[in-house]
Amino acid sequence: MELKDHSIRAIITDRQQQLDATLHNISSLETVIDKINHLHRQMTKQKKKIISSITLHKRLVSPLWRMPTEVLSHIFVHCLPEDKYLSPASKLTLVLLTRICRRWREVAVGTPSLWCRLKVPFVLRTLLELPFCLDLWLKRSRGCLLSLQLTCCTLSGWQSTELRSLLQPYTNQISSFSIRCRLGPNQLDPLLKDLPALQELIIIDGSVTEQCFSRLPPTLSNFKFSGLRFELDPLLSYKSVWANLTNVEIPIHRPDAVLDLLQLCFNLCSLAIHVRSNGIGIFEPLVHIKIQSLRIIVESSSYIHIDHSTSDPLPGLLNALALPKLRTLEVHCVSWPHKEFKSFLTRSNCPLETVILGAEVKMRRKQRAECDALVPSLEVLVSESEES
């Protein structure tokens, strides 16, 4: 037994020496492998740099990369969406153009006309990001006229004041301002104060006070209001504001107030009205020599009960008006006043080209034939939508 134990211990010792030698060899091999892997990573990086350099220099040979800055800037302008206002989203074409390469970024940032349209999303969760967004975007406009759209569900008094302070550095540049918010009385006033370059104002679901309206600049030519909170009568006294308008779209409670409006807006070329009929009213004869487009929507019975046989304002309006420059007439939510329309055409002697009828307005074949006889080139279209 002693001999056998001695033999076994000798074998164990021998195997331990073999294991130590093997572990040493493995450690040495791992060191070599680490060096090889490190060398491989270095070579891979070098390969990528070489490929990147080759690609860059190939691009520099391309005519696209040798284009003058002015030409490239012009191309960038045509790359933008045709939307009137641009969202500051990261996937927007304009934002992507700044991430292609250093030169493209320099050209994009240095082209003010690319940064003149902005949709401003004003909600509490983006309130902290908004100053950075406005500063980053609008500073690049470099004094060019701006088109801004403010969108939100509601806007409190302190929020409208806060937004006004953010827009303060750019108020002299705002030429188009669209406000799509629920605004109470006087909440709109801070946003519309001192906008000397304003040419277009669109208010959706807001509230316009007399003070606010009276401060609108003489540069304003387009005015659109959509919503229930609009009172025309108190605003009619501000003749200087109405006199400069060329395009108007508003709701009107009194149908006969249309004539008062036309007398004030003697430069008007396009008028769209939502009439909430509360009786026919008295329509005095009126000639307006500049209107080329007239759109009339009588509110449907789902909002207010209308007996078209007694309260439809369109026949009275057509009997009172003479529009010698009218080219487009659009009517919704009424029965077709054929007799009054024929008299209107004869009286106006206008170059009428198109009549657009709402889907609910029916013109009979005989009536259509009579219209064709009066104006052979007249095109009668049916609109599927009554939206403004």
Question: Which pLDDT belongs to residue 304?
Answer: 41
Asked whether residue 247 is assigned to any structural domain, the reply reads yes
Question: Which pLDDT belongs to residue 274?
Answer: 87
Structurally, the chain folds into a number of domains equal to 3
Question: Which pLDDT belongs to residue 386?
Answer: 47
Range of the domain at 9: 1-66
Which residues is 270 bridged to in the sheet? 247, 293
Asked whether residue 344 is assigned to any structural domain, the reply reads yes
Q: Mean pLDDT in the chain?
A: 83
Confidence band of 280 (pLDDT split at 50, 70, 90): low
The angle that helices 69-79 and 102-109 make with each other, rounded to 10 degrees, is 80
- The 3-state secondary structure of the chain, one letter per residue: CHHHHHHHHHHHHHHHHHHHHHHHHHHHHHHHHHHHHHHHHHHHHHHHHHHHHHHHHHHHHCHHHHCCHHHHHHHHHHHCCCCCCCCCCCCCHHHHHCCCCHHHHHHHHCCHHHHCEEEEECCHHHCCCHHHHHHHHHHHHCCCCEEEEEEEEECCHHHHHHHHHHHHHHCCCEEEEEEEEECCCCCCHHHHCCCCCCCEEEEECCCCCHHHHHCCCCCCCEEEEECCCCCCHHHCCCHHHHHCCCEEEEEECCCCHHHHHHHHCCCCCEEEEEECCCCCCCCCCEECCCCCEEEEEECCCCCCCCCHHHHCCHHHHHHHEECCCCCEEEEECCCCCHHHHHHHHHHHCCCCCEEEEECCCCCCHHHHHHHHHHCCCCEEEEECCCCC
Q: What is the mean predicted confidence (pLDDT) over 257-275? A: 92
**Which residue has better confidence, 67 or 269?**
269
- Assess whether pLDDT exceeds 80 at residue 260: yes
Asked whether residue 97 is assigned to any structural domain, the reply reads yes
Same domain? For 83 and 147 the reply is no
Percent of the chain's residues with pLDDT above 70: 86
Q: Are 289 and 324 in contact (CB under 8 A)?
A: yes
Same domain? For 232 and 265 the reply is yes
Asked whether residue 132 is assigned to any structural domain, the reply reads no
Asked whether residue 388 is assigned to any structural domain, the reply reads no
Q: What is the mean predicted confidence (pLDDT) over 54-82? A: 78
Same domain? For 39 and 186 the reply is no
Q: What is the mean predicted confidence (pLDDT) over 199-224? A: 89
Same domain? For 239 and 356 the reply is yes
Same domain? For 38 and 89 the reply is no
Same domain? For 77 and 224 the reply is no
Same domain? For 265 and 199 the reply is yes
- Write the pLDDT tens digit of every residue in 291-343: 999 999 887 544 444 444 446 788 888 999 999 999 999 998 778 889 999 99
- Write the pLDDT tens digit of every residue in 347-382: 999 999 999 998 888 888 898 888 888 888 889 888
Same domain? For 221 and 308 the reply is yes
- Write the pLDDT tens digit of every residue in 119-143: 877 654 555 667 777 777 888 888 8
Confidence band of 75 (pLDDT split at 50, 70, 90): confident
- Write the pLDDT tens digit of every residue in 162-208: 778 888 888 899 999 998 877 766 778 888 888 999 999 999 877 78
- Assess whether pLDDT exceeds 50 at residue 252: yes
Same domain? For 301 and 358 the reply is yes
What is the CATH classification number for the domain harbouring 294? Answer: 3.80.10
**Which residue has better confidence, 198 or 284?**
198
Question: Which pLDDT belongs to residue 81?
Answer: 81
- Write the pLDDT tens digit of every residue in 3-61: 666 788 888 888 899 999 999 999 999 999 999 999 999 999 999 999 888 877 776 66
What are 278's two structure tokens? 């509360």
Asked whether residue 327 is assigned to any structural domain, the reply reads yes
Of 258, 261, 255, 256, the closest CA to residue 276 belongs to 255
Asked whether residue 198 is assigned to any structural domain, the reply reads yes
Q: Which pTM does this prediction carry?
A: 0.75
Same domain? For 306 and 375 the reply is yes
**Which residue has better confidence, 104 or 145?**
145
Same domain? For 239 and 342 the reply is yes
Same domain? For 195 and 220 the reply is yes
Confidence band of 270 (pLDDT split at 50, 70, 90): very high
